[in-house]
Amino acid sequence: MPKAATRQKTQTKTTESSTNGAGNAHSKKSESNDGAAVTDSVNPKVSQSEHKERRQSQKSSIKNVEPELLGEMLYQMVLGRIFEQKCAEVYRIGKIGGFCHLYIGQEAVGVGSMMALKAGDFVISAYRDHVQAMVAGMKPEAVMAELYGKEGGVVKGKGGSMHMFSKEKNYFGGHGIVGGQIGVGTGMAYAQKYKETDNVTLCFFGEAAVNQGMFHESLNMAQLWKIPCIYICENNQYGMGTSQKRAMSISSVAQKAEAYGMANEFVDGMDVLAVREATLRAIERARKDNLPTLLEIRCYRFMGHSMSDPGKYRTTEEIKKYQERDPIFLFRQTLTEAKIISDKDYEEIENRAKEATDKAVKFADESPLPNEKELFTDVYA
């Protein structure tokens, strides 16, 4: 449990037992979960001690995961980071048009949760979707070509940055309407229950979506109908330029699940293993008993809301504080200290990610623009 949470003032105590009887994973953790206090305390010392605490926790968590999987998780995070740094670079020279929202700083959320899934499980998300698309198994080449609006893109260049989608990989987008995907994700999870599979759905959204009616309607129905949906709120603490504390009356997102008797948990999104463990607990609840969970995963985006954000609403100290807790740096340190990887191995991981990114850019550059005929294919109206 991060210090950020323990030092905050208590808002409302949660009850030990939630009405679903599934055991409330959040009951002890959510008592003092005020997002506002986290951004208020810009103190490098606190940030360093949080980092230290996560290192301790990761050291014990790695014992439960195969070294090969740990290496793959690190690779996916590094690939996501390097790929998106390249996206920013090529965006600035006009290769990518339209909106482009980067995931830099949030990689541990997508990687930790999605790599806990099994074949046949489903994912749906908002528009910050490039890294998740690659974790779902889409090729970096096809993701970059989509960003370029080229024919070789995952949806033939017709979706762009915000609409990565693959039926084969069970990744159902990539949605631009804030909160819109929460209802769709609930329906996707309901379909799995109806078909009597044991597959679950991860439904990602930002904390600004929690103020939408769709969030509340979906959670109510999911708990009432026992739908195997895992709601993942990526709480990066800002909705565009608006801080969460200026927009939400009760800033604990996890706590809102209590209104529906739903299991919930607060997780440190800088720690890929903490994300994995919380997701596994939620997956078990969903597979065994069709019970939904709300995970509030606290994270921070290191870049602006989108490539066109001048970013005047945050201080440099605040950004620095979170950068000191960089999820990739933390995980690399843990794996190095545990002698699971060496510096040379890390270098190799970085080189592989750079090569994959360069290959993606070359592919996107060379891919043709969609044919005019494509204007009338795959259109739903």
Ligand X SMILES: Cc1ncc(C[n+]2csc(CCOP(=O)(O)OP(=O)(O)O)c2C)c(N)n1
The residues, ordered by sequence, that sit 6+ positions from 304 with a Cβ below 8 Å of its Cβ are: 310, 311
| Chain residue at closest Cβ approach to ligand X | 206
Minimum separation from the CB atom of position 204 to Mg ion (A): 11
Tell which positions 99-128 bind ligand X, by CB under 6 A.
Answer: 128
In eight-state DSSP terms, residue 171 is B
> Which positions from 215 to 254 touch ligand X by CB under 6 A, shown as an x/- string?
---------------------x-xxx--------------
Whose Cβ is closer to ligand X: residue 100's or residue 364's?
100
Residues in Cβ contact with 141 at an 8 Å cutoff, skipping those fewer than 6 apart: 152, 359, 360, 363, 364
Own/partner pairs, 279-284, CB within 8 angstroms, 24+ separation:
279/112, 279/113, 279/116, 279/202, 279/230, 279/232, 280/116, 281/25, 282/25, 282/230, 283/116, 283/117, 283/200, 283/230
Smallest distance, ligand X to C-beta of residue 247, A: 9
Residue 106 vs 357, nearer CB to ligand X: 106
Q: How many residues bind ligand X (CB under 6 A)?
A: 13
Complex with ligand X: residue 213 or 368, whichever CB lies closer: 213
Contact between 90 and 43 (Cβ < 8 Å): no
Taking the least distance from each CB to ligand X, the nearer of 238 and 266 is: 238
Cβ of residue 360: shortest distance to Mg ion, in angstroms?
Answer: 27
Which residues in 104-236 belong to E strands, given as ranges? 122-124, 201-206, 229-235
Residue (73 or 109) nearer to ligand X, CB = 109
Interface with ligand X, residue 258, by CB under 6 A:
no
Stretch that binds Mg ion, among 28-36, 122-130, 202-210, 275-283 (CB under 5 A): 202-210
**Residue 259 interacting partner from ligand X, Mg ion, none (CB closer than 5 to 8 Å by kind):** none
The torsion of the CA quartet 272, 275, 276, 278, rounded to 10 degrees, works out to: 160
Residues 151-210 that bind ligand X (CB under 6 A): 176-178, 206-209
Cα angle 146-328-74, degrees, rounded to a multiple of 5: 70
Nearer to ligand X, 174 or 261 (CB): 174
Residue from 194, 197, 201 nearest 225 by CA: 194
Residue 236 sits in the site that holds Mg ion (CB under 5 A) = yes
In whole angstroms, how close is the CB of 49 to ligand X at the nearest point?
26
Quick one: 34 or 141, whose CB is closer to ligand X? 34
Q: In what order do the strands lie in the sheet with 293-298?
A: 122-124, 201-206, 229-235, 293-298, 263-268
CB-wise, 181 or 264, nearer to ligand X? 181
Contact pattern for ligand X over residues 6 through 35, marking x by CB under 6 A: ------------------------------
Distances (CA, A) of 243 to 36, 164, 216, 237, 265: 8, 27, 21, 6, 22
Contact (Cβ atoms closer than 8 angstroms) between residue 231 and residue 203: yes
Site residues (CB under 6 A) for ligand X, limited to 331-350:
none
Is the Cβ–Cβ distance between 340 and 333 less than 8 Å?
A: no
Q: What DSSP string runs through 87-99?
A: HHHHHHTTSS-S-
Q: Which does 178 bind (CB under 5 to 8 A by kind): ligand X, Mg ion, none?
A: ligand X
Residue 206 within binding range of Mg ion, rule CB under 5 A: yes
209's contact among ligand X, Mg ion, none, with CB below 5 to 8 A by partner kind, is: ligand X
Interface residues with ligand X (CB under 6 A) are: 128, 176-178, 206-209, 236, 238-240, 305
Interface residues with Mg ion (CB under 5 A) are: 206-207, 236, 239
